[in-house]
Every structure is written in C-alpha cells, then in structure tokens.
A = this chain, B = another copy of it.
Amino acid sequence: MPAEASTLLLHSLYLVAIVAEAMTAALAAGRRDMDWFGVCVIACVTALGGGSLRDVLLGHYPLTWVAHPEYLGMTAGAAMLTALCARVLRHLRSLFLLLDALGLVAFTVIGCKVAQQMGLSLPIILVSGMITGCAGGVLRDVLCNDIPLLFRRELYASVSLLTGLVYIGLDFMLGLTSLAVPVALTVGLALRLLALRFNWQMPKFVYRDDWH
C-alpha cells in the first residue's frame, strides 16, 4: 500500500474511532447518571485522552485536539447524539464492539507512528502505541470511579501490544513499510474479534494476604 493511501486509511479510521469511542463513553456516563456536560467531558477524555497522555509523556506538542479543535466538536457532538438516540443504540452492541476494536488498532498504529517520527527507540514506539490505544479507556474508568476494565478484560491491551509488534516487525525489521499498516490493522482486528467471540482472557493474578 503506498504511503499516502496508508496515511489516508489511518486518518479515516482515526475519525471513525474517536466517534465510536465517544459514543461508548457516553453510554458509560449514562450508566452513572451524569448530566449532559459530564457526558461530553467523558466522551472527549475517552476518545482523545490516550493520544493526549502520549503527547504529554513524550513532550510532543501541540496536542492533536489543540491543533485540531474540530475533533473536540466531533466527539462532543457524537456524545450528545448518543444521549439523544440511546434507545436505538441499545440494539447495536455488535456494531459498537466492532468499531471499538477498529479504534483500538487504529489508535495503536497511530501512536507507534508518532513515536517513530520523533525518532524514539523501538520499545518506546511500542509503548507509545499501547498508551494511545488503551489509556483513554483507563481515564474513562478512573473518572467514572471504576477499577479500569482494561486490567481485567479480554485481551484488550494484548491486542494493542500485538498490533504494535506486527507494525514494528514489518516496518523496521523486514523493511516492508507498505505492508506494515494494513497488516498490523488486520491482525490486531482479527485477534480482538476472536477474543470477543470466544471470550479469551489473560490469566489473572489473584493474591490474598493479611498485610493490610
């Protein structure tokens, strides 16, 4: 895939992903009886928080939404639409899970590319992808006062890790730059959908003591 096509694909997936993340975040806020403003804030933090945390940690300024305030409008608008149409969305769970999986892998690849363009080392490129893919959901859960689902659910972060590994492997190790983006997206998406379908989980570490 030529470089422009893969950039365009990633950008389109990015827009789909922030809208999808905003919508699922709005539903999470609704489960907590938040007001309309809270719904918009949770949506923006979930959709844009992963990239923001990455940029702050890497010192990569300006942040995406500062340079493109229209993304704030898109996420807030998607959140309000969701609150208006919640009755309909109730029946679209499978669609949301698909869009959420798309978002996860697209965010991950974008995060890898940002660190790559900053000339950072391979492990940091991988971590940058995982922060971009996963941190938004963690921030959402912290603001909603939950234990982050990420740390307890099926293969979410592992999908992000694998997506980043495939991307790095194809682009850096094998020099197959034109294949890196589409293959990483496909592999990550497939693993995520399989994990959802068969309810694959990471082993849990359960520990009890009487120290506290």
Residue of B with least CB distance to A120: B66
Contacts of A31 in B (CB 8 A): 207-209
Give the complex CA separation of A46 and B39 in angstroms: 22
Interface residues of A in 60-77 (CB under 8 A from B): 61-63, 66, 69, 72-73
A35 lies within 8 A of B144 (CB): no
* Of A6-14, A149-157, A163-171, the one touching chain B: A149-157
Give the interface centre of A72, A138, A209 by most chain B CB atoms within 10 Å: A209
- Identify which of B29, B59, B205 contacts A61 (C-beta below 8 A): B59
Known: A66-B120, A66-B124, A69-B123. A34 touches B157 (CB 8 A): no
3 tightest Cβ-Cβ pairs between the two chains A and B:
A38-B151, A30-B207, A35-B202
A197 proximal to B (CB < 8 A): no
Query: Beta-carbon contacts of A26-58 to B below 8 Å, as 1s and 0s?
Result: 110111111111110110000000001000111
- Identify which of B66, B69, B203 contacts A36 (C-beta below 8 A): B203
Give the complex CA separation of A183 and B112 in angstroms: 44
A123 lies within 8 A of B37 (CB): no
Interface residues of A in 186-212 (CB under 8 A from B): 201-209, 211
Query: Beta-carbon contacts of A110-140 to B below 8 Å, as 1s and 0s?
Result: 0000000000110110010000000000100
A57 lies within 8 A of B56 (CB): yes
A176 proximal to B (CB < 8 A): no
B158 lies within 8 A of A37 (CB): yes
A37 lies within 8 A of B202 (CB): yes
A41 lies within 8 A of B151 (CB): yes
B86 lies within 8 A of A205 (CB): yes
Residue of B with least CB distance to A93: B211
CB distance from A52 to the nearest CB of B (A): 7
Contacts of A205 in B (CB 8 A): 26, 29-30, 33-36, 39, 83, 86
Contacts of A3 in B (CB 8 A): none
